[in-house]
Chains A and B, each alone.
Chain A
Amino acid sequence: MLICVSSHAADNSIEIDRAQIQSSDEGYKLSASFSLDLNRGLEDSLSHGLPLYFTTDVEISRPRWFWDERAASVKQTTRISYNVLTRQYSATILGGLQQNYRTLDEALSLVRSPPRWVVADNSDLDADETYMVAVRMRLDISHLPKPFQVNAINNKDWRMSSDWKRFSFKAGR
């Protein structure tokens, strides 16, 4: 395993640099930033036209005595793909906008610094209650065809995931 110190994360792992819940008029939004780098195998697959999906999982729960009451569980997937004709990378947040970029890094910026998005409505969480939030980003292979899912079982290149980052926040204005 390569241990390289760089501004980006080491190969095959995703780091959550920052994650916090901010309340807004539309609801509670997650503001986060990630560090990740694609390894050679993934870059190769991408440049041949295979799209990659990155999913951010957010779970909000209220801690009880020995089980946590799940208040919200949402996820958002970002697709990075390369068009061999236009020779442009596109990054799309599923269900939202698509943007094209000339370079991979530019496309990955949508993944690394995604815009804030709503994880829970204002009515979902009780005000003044302290909630536990867990955030994780991973390379989602369930969108890929089955052979890649099988490949991922014993091929390390295809397993990219961050650890769960947990923090608490107090709901309410």
Chain B
Amino acid sequence: MTRVLRYMLVVGGAIMSILLFLLASASDNSTFFDEHYSWLLGLNLLVALALLVLISVLLVRLYRRYRRKKFGSRLMARLVLLFAAIGILPGVVIYAVSVQFVSHSIESWFDVRVESALESGVKLGQLVLDSALNELNAKAMRTAQELANLPPSAQTAHLSRLRDESHLQEAVIVTANSQLVATGSREISRLMPDLPTAAMLLQARMTSGFSAIEGGTEQNDTAKHADIPLRLRVVVAIPVASTALSLQGESLFLQLTQPVPQNMASNAEALRVAYGEYQTRSLGRSGLRKIYIVTLSLTLLLAIFGAITSAFMIATNLARPLLLLVQGTKAVAEGDLSPRPIIASPDELGQLTQSFYAMTMQLSDARTTAEKNRAELENAKIYLESVLANMSAGVMVMDGDFRLVSCNESVERILQQSFRGYLGQSLAAIESLSAFSAAISKAFSSQSAQSAASGSKHDELHWQQQIEIARTIDDPEEVDNVITLLARGSRLPVKNGVGYIVVFDNISDVISAQRSIAWGEVARRLAHEIKNPLTPIQLSAERLQMKLEGKLEEKEAAILNKSTATIVNQVESMKRMVDDFRDYAKTPPAVLEALDLNALIEEIIHLYTGGDSSGAIRTVLAPDLPQVMGDVTQLRQIIHNLLQNAQDAVSDRPVDAPSPQIDVITETVHYQDANNQDQVAVRLSVADNGSGFSPRILARAFEPYVTSKSRGTGLGLAMVKKIIDEHDGKIDIQNRTDVTGAKVSILLLKLAP
């Protein structure tokens, strides 16, 4: 119920109560509100109508809501009907009884016997008055006869005597024109007597006389003159005597007025008044009944309106907490755990809403906590997964039957194969991994054998083994092309049973580096050991030649010279080889100084191209290249080496190949170091469009004695790598993707300050 409606109802009810009170007060037989009674009635009806409109608005609204099945309307409708019925039924019962009661009471007031008694009384009064009048009439007649025989002078005395004797009010003689002739009153100062009117005189002349009862007070009269008490008046004509009585010959009239005795008059008057009042009430009793019934009906209407209004208010009051609860339950069922409003009433309904509120709060908290935990778990899982994914080592998880459960990205990177589609399959079933799976199974079995044999409770937690597998699946014949994996495996205790986990790393590079170091050692030792005998051999050979030169035949001398030359040459060659080894093994330490790489490159290229910019060799040098810290000689050696390799790569090409092209590129590289600071490095790239690196060379290019060239020691790139390592740089070789060809990139991190 809206606020406006409620105020209007309250105001209307108050107004109607006041008006009804006035109406009820005016219903009794007082003169209260006599004049404007119909106005009061009309006003009451108007207000009742207004209240009716308001109530019907409420009811229509409720009905519409019920039809639309708006939430809460059914409960409200039921409550309103119940409370309204409780309020209305007693009122209706009382009303019916009251109406009957009033009607019967009013009817019972007006008894026929009372009416007839009053009428009889009135008739009695009339008879009494009539008889008195007749008596006076008779007296008047007699007096008239007497007066007819009297002379005028004696008439006055006669009149006076008559007046005194008969207690008349007055006795006068008048002419036909109502002119006073004689009067029986003694005092002259008395007021003029009431003279008969012409109508009276006419009647007196026509009939035997005029007689009437006059006076009597009137109700509600605001008369200015005094009340006229009841009196009798008789006018008779005085018969004309034979004697000369009349002066002008006109007729004379005698008028006698006699007041009705006091108590007779008062009784008659009281009777008349009572009769009048009774008749008034009797005539108006239907109106009175109507008044009562209308008042009762309006009261009933007011009671009904009050009942319906309070029914609405009570129903709203009761229904609100229930509806809140229903709404809340629905919301919770749909998963909405936001806080619900509570009713702060002290009774159980209020407690219910409060408990409900507390319950939803707890549910909400629990859910939030669960969500948070789940999110944390999720985050932890994602973190672990990312750690696992970004691990450089490959992790393979298998179940008890060596079926692949999961593997991380590094596995695919190392083994160069996607295993997404193989999840759930036995490892042995995957073709490319047959050797791998065989090795793993063997390792696991020997581990279990070992732990069983040792009999100790403290098992070996994991095994470690080096496994070699073919690098790619498309070149299985390449014996040399293997990658070495360092694998560790252990058992994974899972919920029901046991799984296996294998972690492996590609240690080919490590092994390659170790091999380089080993070679270095060997080279150094060998160089040292071999060099020693070489000099005596050469010296001996030269001495032989010197000593035996003139002592032999020509044919033998020729043989001696040739042999000696061969020995000397080969020894020279061996010395050179040993020197190379020694150079490789003992590279002088780098002397770092600031140098401009671009200038160095241009100087070296100039040697190759001789100033000819069009040709095989092309340079793309970054203009603002920062200066690097480097050893000029060694860097020069590197550049020469790379250019040599490039030239060698593009030298033997098929006829229809595009023209050879060697690019030398320098550029600045921006990166972020471990402390998230911005750093700058310099990259030098040498690219050619030759045949590119074969996969075998790519893996081991930096190891000594790895070469694709038919000649050469294969030490070039190894030296380059050693020098770069001393410069704290990085070198990377790869095949170009745009054309066939190789690209060698050197990253120099140490810049000039």
Contact = CB atoms under 8 A, between A and B. Distances in A.
Interface of A: 45, 48-51, 79, 81, 83-88, 90, 92, 94-95, 98, 100, 102, 142-153
A102 to B, nearest CB: 8
14 contacts: A84-B126, A85-B122, A85-B126, A85-B269, A86-B213, A86-B215, A87-B126, A92-B221, A98-B218, A145-B34, A145-B284, A147-B285, A150-B38, A150-B294
Interface stretch (B241-249, B273-281, B355-363, B727-735): B273-281
Interface in B167-217: 212-216
A88 B287 contact: no
Contact of B288 (A79, A92, A147): A147
Given A48-B282, A86-B129, A145-B31, 13 more contacts: A45-B279, A48-B279, A50-B276, A85-B125, A85-B126, A85-B129, A86-B213, A94-B222, A147-B288, A147-B290, A148-B287, A151-B286, A152-B38
Given A94-B222, A98-B223, A84 B284 contact: no
A107 to B, nearest CB: 13
B161 interface: no
A86 B216 CA distance: 8
A145 B27 CA distance: 10
Nearest to B283: A45
Contacts of A150: 37-38, 41, 287-288, 290-291, 294
Interface string B19-39: 000000011010101111110
B575 interface: no
A100 B214 contact: yes
B257 to A, nearest CB: 14
A17 to B, nearest CB: 25
Contacts of B491: none
B124 to A, nearest CB: 10
Contacts of B403: none
Contacts of B279: 45, 48-50
A11 B307 CA distance: 48
Contact of B283 (A48, A84, A88, A152): A48
B268 interface: yes
B74 interface: no
A143 B220 contact: yes
Interface string B357-377: 000000000000000000000
Contacts of A86: 129, 212-216, 230
A146 B275 contact: no
Given A49-B280, A146-B26, A151 B287 contact: yes
Contacts of A94: 222
A142 B38 CA distance: 9
Interface of B: 26-27, 29, 31, 33-38, 41, 122, 125-126, 129, 212-216, 218-223, 230, 268-269, 271-272, 275-276, 279-288, 290-291, 294
B280 A50 contact: yes
Contacts of B283: 45, 48, 50, 148
A149 B37 contact: yes
A33 to B, nearest CB: 21
Going nearest first, the 7 A-B pairs with the smallest beta carbon separation are A147-B287, A147-B284, A49-B276, A151-B287, A48-B279, A147-B288, A150-B287
Contacts of A151: 284, 286-287, 290
Contacts of B268: 85
Contacts of A88: 212-214
A145 B34 CA distance: 6
A45 to B, nearest CB: 5
A1 B34 CA distance: 31
Contacts of B291: 146-147, 150
Contacts of A144: 284
Nearest to B293: A150
Contact of B275 (A49, A143, A145): A49
Contact of B38 (A50, A143, A145, A149): A149
Nearest to B232: A86
A78 B36 CA distance: 20
A110 B306 CA distance: 54
Contact of B218 (A90, A95, A102, A152): A90
Contact of B272 (A83, A102, A145): A83
Contact of A83 (B35, B216, B290): B216
A29 to B, nearest CB: 21
Nearest to B34: A146
Nearest to B31: A145
Nearest to A47: B279
Nearest to B35: A142
Nearest to A102: B212
Contacts of A87: 126, 213
A153 B34 contact: no
A154 to B, nearest CB: 8
Given A51-B219, A147-B291, A84 B38 contact: no
Contacts of B26: 146
Nearest to A85: B272
B723 to A, nearest CB: 120
Given A49-B279, A146-B26, A81 B218 contact: yes
B216 A148 contact: no
A146 to B, nearest CB: 5
